[in-house]
Chains A and B, each alone.
Chain A
Amino acid sequence: MDRLFHALADATRRDILRRCVRGELSVSRLAAAYPMSFAAVQKHVTVLERAGLVAKERRGREQLVRTDPDAVGRARQALDELESAWRARVDRMSGLLEDDTDRDPDGGNTTGRNGRTSRTNGTSRTNGKGPER
């Protein structure tokens, strides 16, 4: 987890990830894209590799970099993200339904509009879809 955050905390590394999602790129090709040395870019790639975000493959004299080469892993990741988004939504739905149940017997407010401001506390536990991977 620490490795992941460290890897993602740098703008150049995030940019490398974005570039390599579309297809593999050689380290020298990447290096040409940034105002820094080949060695510096290579160091960034190594950090990404250790975090499991890219795979490096040597082909001839080139080192090719690719973001997550495993298609199944990619699919799982996409489904995981969709899952956490939906879990958070279900939590919020559940919270809304409970709010209304709590309020109805107290009488008076059936419009549900006043619940809006009081909701902010209730949603904090759902924690959105944070980067918990």
Chain B
Amino acid sequence: MAINKIVQSRTEAVQGIGDGSTVLISGFGNAGVPTDLIHALLDQGSRDLTVVSNNAGTGDKGLAALLREGRVRRIICSYPRSAGSIAFDELYAAGKIELELVPQGTLSERMRAAGAGIGAFYTPTGVGTKLAEGKEVREIDGREYVLEYPLKGDVALVEAEYADRWGNLTYNKSARNFGPVMAMAAELTIVEARNIVELGQMNPETIVTPSIFVDRVLHVPAEAATAA
């Protein structure tokens, strides 16, 4: 039977995401944010979410809208505050959201470890700082390292430039950022792709995310996309 991961609607794309899920959301600043999938999740109604994303949303679309609607209990990110991160800033000042601040490289490596089946890893990042408080520190070859655990998603929402029906992906410039690592780190990886191409049209030498990491693909042409 032909494998076809392409879904026909936003509703179908986010079907089955449960309350309390951990949701990995790609993007760095506004580049690579799957805004339409986030709005599909908003319409779907899941609550009490833990969101993992480098930033905490800006303006009033995408992650900012999800925050504003009170769907997110906890956010795990490296740099929540940006110009325009009003939704997050207000929730934070009011004590209405939990923040786990993670050094940026540790954030992506924890997801890489989850996707790669690695039980934990030692990193030199954060040694002797408040962000390493309470964590195991080990000296290896004369240098101190902090023990960090994998960060697995129940769901990943990822934006891509090209996809085929198997779920092979390529990205656009610096919109790639967290997409490939989040795609491999979740139980259910849902992709919003600008372009869908026939199987075999993507160059196997330049596919960035191989199909095995992807579960669903929603076609959101650039002209139909919700602006971040």
Please indicate whether A and B come from the same complex rather than being unrelated chains. Answer: no
Enumerate chain A interface residues (CB-CB to B < 8 A). none
